[in-house]
């Protein structure tokens, strides 16, 4: 058996007492690396429910206000709706994370960097450089590849970059679920820029359709952000292979690209339910299912990895 | 072997983490290059159709609407209702080509909201002398929506004892960008011999 005390902890350089794969950790950081914050999953699920409730409320307001809601008031309300997903998630997260919170400046900073990179790199790259709108037509294979290689990969890489260049190197990034938290924050930053852009470009939009678009974008990109962050946690804390983060980015790109393709196919239909165009609602339900599925898979995977790491750590 | 045997926290993660970041950067670059390649393959892709006595190579993925009478077909970009090509085979009834162009412009003026003629000039189309008419009009949508400015171009060229009329209409903002693609369509258009 190797003498671990001769090896410094990977995080704090105190004498190591545990080993996770090739990584040595002291007692404190081994406990953190194998700690699960159950509230993270609860926050994600409550946020999904809250955002779906937002769509219902917006649809009711739009229905009852009718033509009275137009012009500048509609524009301002649309902008507020675009900001609500991030506000809901951050509020819920801090309510649940009071005991041992992640530094607020780091979470907000990663959210802001995700937004800045989206505005400065992501949106111009997709719109002005790759000009997807000009050449991605109705050919399904072309749609699938373009949506994965560009529409999915660009936000996935930006989410990675926002986390990697900020909190990732910090000793605050030391728990199994930290990647999920910071990845979600970066994803919501990206989604918020897309959503504000939608409202600004439209000069205000039908409140019901705007809220559906805002929520499905936040659910998809935010959920995939959590997934990418999970892979990054594994890379840093669990001695995963060198391609692990790239695999997370690729998985995120495939999920976003596949979702966008399916939503495009569904939303081009003219089917109605009770006189309401069905496409946007089906797209919303798919986004909620995707975000819920990601949360469920991450919950299960993190728990099993923690159990396995704890067993190995004790055995060694 | 334990990876963190020496050095500071940041130094201890530098090498494997730098390699993982490099892999993500390579993945991003590969994705963008592949997208550009896909664009190069897709952007000029066409399919040849034959409708109403006219065959032509039209952009792949556009919707084809067969016509009747002198209207051979309309092909529309599914992403933009205002972007379309139209092919007509017109019986000139013995009048000169310029008169055919004037008559067609008069029909459009009667049908299109806010029709404004821009110019009418003689041009050469695939080695054949023809007439080009450029114009603009307002496309209207449902009540309460702002009308959209559309620019159009008609080309009329003799085709045996008939006249082939080809039209390009697009949102005014991107009209010039679509000219090359339209000219490829024009170059491919043929009036089929009457059976």
Rounded Cα–Cα distance for residues A18 and A16 (Å): 6
- Using a CB–CB cutoff of 8 Å, tell me whether B143 touches chain A: no
Q: Judge whether B145 is closer than 8 Å to chain A, CB to CB.
A: no
Distance from CA of B48 to the nearest CA of A (A): 16
Q: Between chains, do B35 and A23 touch, taking CB under 8 Å as contact?
A: no
Q: Which two tokens stand for residue B29?
A: 């670059």
Contacts of B106 (CB under 8 A, 6+ apart): none
Asked whether the beta carbons of residue B4 and residue A7 sit closer than 8 angstroms, the reply is yes
Which pLDDT belongs to residue B128? 84
Specify the higher pLDDT residue, A283 or B59. Answer: B59
Chain B nearest C-alpha distance from A24 (Å): 7
**pLDDT, tens digit only, all 316 positions of chain A:** 455 556 777 667 778 777 766 667 787 777 777 766 666 677 778 888 888 888 888 878 777 776 666 677 778 888 888 888 888 887 777 766 555 566 778 899 999 999 999 999 999 999 889 988 777 876 788 899 999 999 999 999 999 999 999 999 888 887 777 888 899 999 999 999 999 998 887 766 677 778 888 888 998 899 899 999 999 988 887 778 889 999 999 999 999 999 898 888 776 655 565 566 666 777 788 888 888 888 788 877 877 777 766 665 544 4
State the count of interchain CB pairs (< 8 A) between A and B: 115
Which chain B residues are within 8 Å of A22, Cβ to Cβ?
A: 1-3
- Report yes or no: A228 at the B interface, CB cutoff 8 Å: no
Average pLDDT of chain B is 86
Instruction: State the nearest Cα–Cα gap between B52 and chain A, in angstroms.
Output: 24
Q: What angle do CA A96, A102, A108 make, to 5 degrees?
A: 95
pLDDT at residue number B5: 38
What's the confidence (pLDDT) of residue A4?
A: 55
Q: What pLDDT sits at residue A90?
A: 79
In Å, how far are A85, A134, B46, B75, B80 from B42, measured between CA atoms? 36, 10, 9, 17, 18
What ipTM, to 2 d.p.? Answer: 0.78
Query: Distance (Å) from the C-alpha of residue A42 to the closest C-alpha of chain B?
Result: 30
**pLDDT at position B2, please?**
35
Give the per-residue pLDDT at A315.
41
Contact status of A7 with chain B (Cβ, < 8 Å): yes
Query: A68: how many CB neighbours lie within 10 A of its CB?
Result: 8
Confidence at residue A205, expressed as pLDDT on a 0 to 100 scale:
63
- pLDDT score at A144: 93
A123/A134 Cα distance (integer angstroms): 15
What does the angle CA A297 – CA A303 – CA A304 come to, to the nearest 5 degrees? 90
A157 contacts on B by Cβ (under 8 Å): 24, 27-28, 31
B177 CB neighbours in chain A (<8 A) are 134
* Confidence at residue A63, expressed as pLDDT on a 0 to 100 scale: 74
pLDDT of B1 > 60? The answer is no
For the cut 70, the answer to whether the pLDDT of residue B95 exceeds it is yes
Contact status of A245 with chain B (Cβ, < 8 Å)? yes
> What is the model's pLDDT at position B142?
66
The encoded tokens of residue A178 equal 């930290």
b/e per residue B164-187 (b: at least 16 CB within 10 A) = bbbbbbbbeeebeebeebbebbbe
What does the alpha-carbon distance between residue A79 and residue A76 come to, in Å, rounded to a whole number?
Answer: 5
């Amino acid at each position: 058996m190797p003498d671990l005390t001769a090896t410094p902890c990977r995080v704090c350089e105190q004498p190591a007492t545990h080993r996770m794969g090739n990584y040595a950790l002291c007692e404190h950081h081994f406990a953190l690396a194998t700690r699960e914050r159950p509230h993270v999953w609860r926050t994600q699920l409550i946020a999904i429910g809250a955002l779906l409730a937002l769509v219902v409320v917006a649809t009711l307001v739009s229905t009852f206000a009718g033509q009275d809601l137009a012009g500048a008031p509609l524009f301002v309300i649309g902008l507020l709706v675009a900001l609500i997903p991030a506000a809901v998630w951050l509020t819920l997260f801090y309510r649940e994370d009071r005991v041992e919170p992640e530094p607020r400046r780091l979470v907000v900073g990663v959210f802001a960097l995700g937004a800045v990179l989206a505005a400065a790199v992501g949106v111009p790259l997709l719109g002005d450089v790759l000009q997807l709108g000009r050449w991605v037509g109705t050919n399904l294979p072309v749609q699938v590849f373009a949506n994965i290689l560009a529409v999915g990969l660009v936000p996935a890489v930006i989410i990675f970059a926002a986390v990697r260049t900020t909190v990732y190197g910090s000793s605050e990034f030391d728990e199994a679920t930290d990647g999920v938290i910071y990845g979600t924050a970066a994803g919501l930053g990206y989604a918020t820029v897309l959503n504000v852009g939608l409202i600004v470009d439209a000069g205000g939009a039908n409140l019901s359709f705007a809220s559906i678009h805002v929520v499905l974008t936040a659910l998809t990109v935010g959920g995939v952000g959590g997934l990418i962050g999970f892979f990054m946690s594994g890379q840093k804390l669990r001695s995963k292979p060198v391609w692990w983060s790239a695999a997370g980015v690729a998985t995120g790109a495939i999920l976003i690209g596949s979702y966008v393709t399916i939503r495009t196919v569904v939303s081009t239909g003219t089917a109605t339910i009770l006189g309401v165009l069905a496409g946007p609602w089906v797209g919303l339900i798919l986004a909620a299912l995707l975000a819920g599925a990601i949360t469920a898979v991450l919950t299960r995977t993190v728990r099993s990895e923690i159990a396995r790491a704890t067993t190995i750590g004790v055995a060694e | 072997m334990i990876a963190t045997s020496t050095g500071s926290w940041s130094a201890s993660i530098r090498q494997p983490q730098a390699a993982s970041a490099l892999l993500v950067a390579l993945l991003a670059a590969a994705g963008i290059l592949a997208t550009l390649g896909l664009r190069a393959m897709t952007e000029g892709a066409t399919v040849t159709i034959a409708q109403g006595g006219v065959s032509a190579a039209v952009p792949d993925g556009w919707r084809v609407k067969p016509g009747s009478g002198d209207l051979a077909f309309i092909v529309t970009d599914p992403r933009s209702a205002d972007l379309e090509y139209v092919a007509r085979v017109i019986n000139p009834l013995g009048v000169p080509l310029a008169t055919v162009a004037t008559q067609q412009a008069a029909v459009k003026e009667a049908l299109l909201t806010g029709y404004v003629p821009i110019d009418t000039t003689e041009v050469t189309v695939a080695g054949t002398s023809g007439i080009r008419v450029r114009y603009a009009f307002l496309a209207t949508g449902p009540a309460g929506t702002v009308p959209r400015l559309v620019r159009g171009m008609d080309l009329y060229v003799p085709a045996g004892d008939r006249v082939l009329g080809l039209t390009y209409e697009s949102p005014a903002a991107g009209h010039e960008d679509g000219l090359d693609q339209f000219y490829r369509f024009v170059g491919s258009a043929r009036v089929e011999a009457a059976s």
